[in-house]
Amino acid sequence: MSEPVPSSSADNPLNQSAAVATEPRPGQERSASLWGDAWRELIRNPVFVISSLFLLVVGSMALFPWLWTSKSHRDCNVSIAHLKPSSEHWFGTSILGCDSYTEAVYGAQPSLLIALMATAGITLIGVPVGTLAGFYGKWTDAIISRVLDIIFSLPFLLGAIVFLTVIRINQEWVIALILTLLGWPGIARLMRGNVIQAKNLDYVQAAKALGATNGRLMFRHIMPNAIAPVVVVATIALGGFVAAEATLTFLGVGLKPPDKISWGMMIAQHDDWFDSYPWLVLFPCGLLVGTVLSFILMGDALRDALDPKLR
């Protein structure tokens, strides 16, 4: 009498049911973190991809200018001033005979450096201050809120002009420091509101009931879940600080030639010549507008990706 042939795993109904249970159903996505879901949304967003590629090009100009030009922005010859754009001088030449394309390449570095330092500064100050105000409340929140109100009462651009005029130190770190001092209250107020909303959620109350310390509640449970809107605002702030640096330099209180060159400086040097030589202004303006717009579009894409209600 032959022994029964054992059924294969494919024929076993128990294995089939287990396989059905482990495989995701059609239309059902595998569970992931907020940032993982956001990244998958971002890489499918053409606006985010195009903005990222543009900023990657501008960033490479700032970090590795020799990859884009073999000339120096200090190599000037008055005898070739005011040349039109050509195969030899893509953006033409300036009123001093400098290659405008080379100046535009080297002009990306101070603009992005100031924006990065200022954004890092407002984040490093605003996030912990806003977290303390939102978590502890009462007199801590009252004191911090009054300080924020005082700084908010100072006009951002006018305050930067006054401080730079008084200090008279036209260096990148000084401009970034002043922009940081005037810009961090926005991040702090945003973080404060997020913390107030997050600290009353069930998972925070459960961790508190289990004996979690205030430090663990803030840095382990509240801050990671309240930081997403800050990332969006910080991304948009990068574009705002690029524009702020160009504005301050254009008004004569920012970076100074000949040691430094920036897009705002190129615009300031040639705005009187716009009627005769418009390309001397249009090319740096195009890079400036493209960079600011790219940061803003990236921030909008991040906001949409990090907000589950919009997906």
Question: How many domains in the chain?
Answer: 1
pLDDT over threshold 90, residue 129: yes
Residues spanned by the domain of 88: 33-310
The answer to the question of residue 177 being in a domain is yes
For 130-152, what is the mean pLDDT? 91
Indicate which CATH number applies to the domain containing 77: 1.10.3720.10
Residues 6+ apart with CB under 8 A from 92: 82, 83, 84, 85, 86, 100, 277, 279, 280, 283
pLDDT digits (tens, 9 = 90+) for 169-207: 888 999 999 999 999 999 999 999 999 888 888 888 888
Mean pLDDT of 216-235: 86
SS3 254: coil
**CA 214 to CA 134: how far, in whole Å?**
12
Q: How confident is the model at residue 32, as a pLDDT? A: 56
Q: What confidence score (pLDDT) does residue 282 get?
A: 92
- Residue at 170 is within a domain: yes
User: Do 250 and 275 meet the contact criterion of CB atoms below 8 Å apart?
Assistant: no
Give which of 111, 115, 103, 108 is closest to 60, Cα–Cα: 108
Q: Please give the residue that has the higher pLDDT: either 299 or 29.
A: 299
The pair of three-digit structure tokens given for residue 121, joined into one six-digit string: 């500064």
- Which pairs from 271-274 meet CB under 8 Å and 24+ separation? 273/82, 273/95
136 inside domain: yes
pLDDT confidence of residue 2: 47
Question: Which residue did the predictor score with more confidence, 309 or 211?
Answer: 211
> Which region among 6-10, 99-103, 117-121, 202-206 has the lowest average model confidence (pLDDT)?
6-10
**The token pair that represents 86 in the structure block:** 């050509």
Of 62, 55, 187, give the one whose Cα is nearest residue 121: 187
Which pLDDT band holds residue 39 (cuts at 50, 70, 90)?
confident
What confidence tens digit (pLDDT) does each residue in 235-260 have? Answer: 999 999 999 999 999 998 888 877 78
pLDDT at 27: 44
State the pLDDT at residue 76: 81
Asked, for residue 275, whether it belongs to a domain, the answer is: yes
Outline where DSSP puts E strands in 43-147: none
Helix axes 100-136, 263-270, angle to 10 degrees: 130
301-to-223, 229, 306 alpha-carbon distances in Å: 22, 12, 9
**pLDDT tens digit sequence for 49-91:** 999 999 999 999 999 999 998 888 778 878 888 888 888 888 9
| pLDDT value for 80 | 84
- 24: pLDDT confidence band, cut at 50, 70 and 90? very low
pLDDT at 114: 95
Identify which has the larger pLDDT, 224 or 103. 103
For residue 55, which of 236, 282, 283, 304 has the smallest C-alpha distance? 236
CB 74 within 8 A of CB 258: yes
In degrees, rounded to 5, the angle at the alpha carbon of residue 68 between the alpha carbons of residues 63 and 70 is 105
216 is a domain residue: yes
Residue 23 lies inside a defined structural domain of this protein = no
Q: Which of 221-225, 259-263, 293-297 has the highest mean pLDDT?
A: 293-297
pLDDT at 308: 60
C-alpha to C-alpha distance for 183 and 38, rounded to whole angstroms: 27
From 54, 111, 94, select the one nearest 263 (Cα to Cα): 111
What mean pLDDT, rounded, does the chain reach?
84
Domain-located, residue 2:
no
- What does the alpha-carbon distance between residue 221 and residue 199 come to, in Å, rounded to a whole number? 9
> What confidence score (pLDDT) does residue 311 get?
54
How far CA 65 is from CA of 44, 60, 68, 92, 283, in Å, comes to 30, 7, 5, 18, 17
Task: Decide if 52 is inside a domain.
Answer: yes
The CA distance from 306 to 193, in Å, is 17
